[in-house]
Amino acid sequence: MSSSSTMLGRVVRLGWTNFWRNRWLTLGATLLMALTLMMVSVSLLLTLLVRDTAEAVKQKIDLKIYFNDDAVPDEKITALSERVRLQDNVVAVSIISKAQALAIFNQSSEIEDSIKKPLGPDYNPLPRTIQVATERAEQIPALIETLKVIDSDKIICDRCLSYLKNKVVLDNLIAQTRFVQRLGLFLSLFFGAIAIFNVLNIIRITISARSDEIEIMRFVGASNAFVRGPFVIEGVLYGLFGTIFTTALLLIGAQVASPHVQSAFGILGGSLYQYLIRHLSLIVGAQLAIGLGLGVVVSYFSVRRYLKA
Handedness of CA 22, 25, 31, 34 (dihedral sign): negative
Residue 221 DSSP class: T
Please say if the pLDDT value at position 253 is more than 50. Answer: yes
Reported as a single tens digit per residue, the pLDDT across 150-200 is: 888 888 887 766 665 566 666 676 677 677 767 767 776 776 677 677 767
CA neighbor of 265 nearest in space, from 52, 105, 25, 47: 52
Reported as a single tens digit per residue, the pLDDT across 13-62 is: 877 887 787 777 778 778 888 888 888 888 788 778 877 777 777 777 77
Handedness of CA 220, 224, 226, 229 (dihedral sign): positive
* Predicted pLDDT of residue 244: 93
* Predicted pLDDT of residue 1: 47
Helix (H) or strand (E) run with residue 64 in it: strand 63-65
Q: Which domains does the chain carry?
A: 2-58+172-306 (no CATH), 67-160 (3.30.70.3040)
SS3 for 65-132 is: ECECCCCCCHHHHHHHHHHHHCCCCEEEEEEECHHHHHHHHHHCCCCCHHHHCCCECCECCCCCEEEE
Reported as a single tens digit per residue, the pLDDT across 187-222 is: 767 766 776 777 677 777 777 777 777 777 777 777
Reported as a single tens digit per residue, the pLDDT across 269-296 is: 677 888 888 889 999 998 898 888 888 8
* Predicted pLDDT of residue 160: 67
Q: How many residues does the chain have?
A: 309
